[in-house]
Amino acid sequence: MGGVIALNPWDLSWAALLVLLLAGLTHWQGLNLARPLLIAALRTTVQLSLVGLVLKALFGALEPGWVALMAGVMLAAAGWEVRARQKRRFAGWWGYGVGALSMFLSSFSVTVLALLAIIAPDPWFAPQYAIPLLGMMLGNTMNSIALGMDRLTGEAWRDRAAIEARLCMGQSWQEAIAPLRREAMRTSLTPMINAMSAAGLISLPGMMTGQILGGTPPLVAVNYQILIMFMITAGTGFGSMVALRLGAGRLFDARQRLRLDRLDHLEKAA
């Protein structure tokens, strides 16, 4: 089996043309999605090109400090994205800290466990393993936490009368918010449950596809993909649990009163 077929800018332009066509159609239909699509496509191109240069330098340096710095930048960016994707988010530091702390406790822990106990590269922080694994963990955990937190705060805002009624009936804040936390947790985990259910039967996940294109034997690629999907599912689940617990607690004060004034009331523009 040969090596990877290299792609040149002309090859990528065909895929870019499809995105431009999609943006034009959404503009024609008045969906107000053309600008976000084009900005996201530009960000993808610039960010991936830059990270390719950074990873090339990291792979050559093999210094734990640089790997840790890269991981910290990835976590900081993921925390910001979690905040940006919520319509009603916590004001101030909490709007950023809940997501960032939850991802640190879940994604970092699961990634380190995989590097030390499962894959065990030499050295254990080898960037060609550590950075891609952490990136996949953060990307999926970020999406799940953002979905769960958005569901929690949105439902709390809409059902505030029902929550306050439960509190007046003598329920604790944990009991009053419990139905919303359960639904938010289901929202967080549904994408990964669907992805695992469809893997192999309907879709070939990205990492497995990339390894096969790179010449890795299919069964080796399958083992890596199973490992990654289990890791991501655990990371998103644990991270969402932490985020929803912190977020639910922040909605109430020490006297167990609902405090929706702690949310930014201005929803982000569509």
For every one of its 270 residues, what pLDDT tens digit does the chain have, with 9 covering 90 and above? 456 778 888 888 999 999 999 999 999 999 999 999 999 999 999 998 998 888 888 888 788 898 999 999 999 999 998 988 888 888 888 889 999 999 999 998 999 999 999 999 988 999 889 998 999 999 999 999 999 999 999 999 999 999 999 999 999 999 999 999 999 999 999 999 998 998 887 777 777 877 787 788 888 888 988 998 899 999 999 999 999 999 999 999 999 999 988 887 544 433
Q: Please state the pTM of the whole predicted model.
A: 0.80
Are 52 and 72 within one domain? no
Are 151 and 170 within one domain? yes
Number of domains in the chain: 2
Dihedral (C-alpha) 204, 207, 209, 213: value to the nearest 10 degrees? -170
Are 175 and 231 within one domain? yes
Are 52 and 171 within one domain? no
Alpha-carbon span 148 to 63, nearest angstrom: 36
Q: Which residue range forms the structural domain that includes residue 72?
A: 63-262
